[in-house]
Amino acid sequence: MAHGHAALSGALVVVGTGIGATRLTFEARSAIQNADEVLFLVPDLVSEEVIRSLNPAARSLESCYANGEPRIEAYERMVNELLTPARAGRRVCAAFYGHPGVFVHPSHEAVRRARAEGIEARMQPGISAEDCLFADLALDPGAAGCQSYEATRFLERRPAIEPTAALVLWQIGVLGERASAFGPLPGALARLVERLLELYPPDHEAVLYEAAPYPGVDPVVRRVPLRALAEDELTPLSTLYVPPLAPR
C-alpha cells in the first residue's frame, strides 16, 4: 500500500533555461526530459524548440497573460497551472527563462505553496543576466563589492548607496512601469539620472547592457556618461551598470 501511495505523490521542480537556449544546464535538461508535465515561459522560439525537443508534450504558459490586466493575475494563473497536475500526483517541471529565481514571481510562489501542501518542490539555478554581465563586462563583484536593485524600486525607495562599490540597476528599460513592459514612464529616467548625479559626477561613465540571447551574438554594451543617460534608447532588456568610484 505504501508503494501505491508514493506513486500518487506529485512533485514540482522549477528550472531556468539560462539566458539563451545554449545555456541550459545538464541538470535542467534532465528535469525537463523526466517530467510527466513540462510548462515553460521563454521569450524566443529557439528556447521553446529546445524544450520541446526534450519533452514534446511541453506547453507554454504564455496563454496565462490577458491584455490590459495586472500581471499578478497572470502569475496567479501560472501558479495554478503548475500546482494542479502536481496535486494530482504528477511530476511537474516548470522552465523559466534565465534563472528561475531572479525576477520570476510565479516560480517562488509555486514552490512555496507546493511545500506548504506537502508536495516535494525544489528550484534549480540557471544562468542569469547577472552571470552574463559579470562575464561580458569582466567584472568581479568581489573586487569592490556590488549593489543590485530593480530600477523602479531603487528610484522609489532611495536606498543608501556606497559609490565606491559597483551598482547594477535591473529593468531600467521599463522604469516606473510597475506591471508591464511598454517602456519607461515619462520623466522617470530624468528622475533616475537626477538621483544618480547626487552620488556620482556627471561625466562618470556607466554601461547600458543587454545579455546576448543567442550563441555567437555579441551582448549590447554601450558606454554613456550619466548626464546623457536620459537621451539614450532603452529596451525592456536594458540593465544599467555603474562602475565604482575610486576609493576616497
User: Which residues belong to the active site?
Assistant: 71, 75, 97
In this prediction, residue 178 carries a pLDDT of 56
**Cα torsion at 176, 181, 183, 186 (round to 10°)?**
-40
pLDDT over 80 at 1, yes or no? no
Return the percentage of the chain with pLDDT > 70, whole number: 93
Q: Which CATH number fits domain 2-123: 3.40.50.2300, 3.40.50.2020, 3.40.50.300, 3.40.1010.10?
A: 3.40.1010.10
Q: Which CATH number fits domain 129-242: 3.40.718.10, 1.10.3470.10, 2.40.30.10, 3.30.950.10?
A: 3.30.950.10
Give ∠ CA 236-184-188 in degrees, rounded to 5.
Answer: 140
Span 90-132, pLDDT tens digits: 999 999 999 999 999 999 999 999 999 999 999 999 999 999 9
Q: What residue segments make up the domains of the chain, in order of their start?
A: 2-123, 129-242
Span 43-59, pLDDT tens digits: 889 899 999 999 999 99
Sign, Cα dihedral of 237, 139, 46, 217? positive
pTM (predicted TM-score): 0.87
202's grid cell: 556627471
| Positions of E strands within 71-145 | 91-96, 120-123
Q: Reduced to 3 states, what is the DSSP secondary structure of residue 99?
A: coil
